[in-house]
Amino acid sequence: MPTSLFGAACWACQRRWSPSARGISVSTLSRLENGDTGVGLATFLNVAGALGIRDAVVQATDPFETDFGRARAELALPKLVRR
């Protein structure tokens, strides 16, 4: 049985879509279901898209969605030099 909420969603949806149709091996999907952090980001987003939650995942990981993320982004931007 999957060990993560995302894994449980994958496991429940396998009857609606085939991993191989999305270019994902069954073993990779199993690793993803069980929370293996070695699965690639592209594969994770591919499965998230199949589950219909890709946009929510992208929004949840957007650094500009938090005050802290926006402050850190401003530090990384180059300063304009005026003469």
List the domain range (segments joined by +) for residue 43.
5-76
Instruction: Specify if 20 maps to a domain.
Output: yes
Instruction: Specify if 11 maps to a domain.
Output: yes
pLDDT at 10 over 60: yes
Give the pLDDT confidence of 70-82 residue by residue, as tens digits: 777 777 766 665 6
pTM value is 0.64
Dihedral, CA atoms, 27, 32, 35, 38, nearest 10 degrees?
Answer: 80
Please identify which residue in the block is written with the tokens 């396998």.
14
Give the pLDDT confidence of 24-46 residue by residue, as tens digits: 888 888 888 788 889 888 888 88
pLDDT of residue 82: 61
Instruction: Specify if 29 maps to a domain.
Output: yes
Residues 6 or more apart from 70 whose CB is under 8 A from it?
Answer: 63, 64
Number of structural domains the chain divides into: 1
Distances (CA, A) of 46 to 1, 50, 62, 68, 71: 21, 6, 18, 28, 30
Q: Looking at residue 24, what DSSP letter applies?
A: -
Instruction: Specify if 81 maps to a domain.
Output: no
pLDDT-derived band at 3 (thresholds 50, 70, 90) equals low
Mean pLDDT of all residues in 41-69: 84
Instruction: Specify if 82 maps to a domain.
Output: no
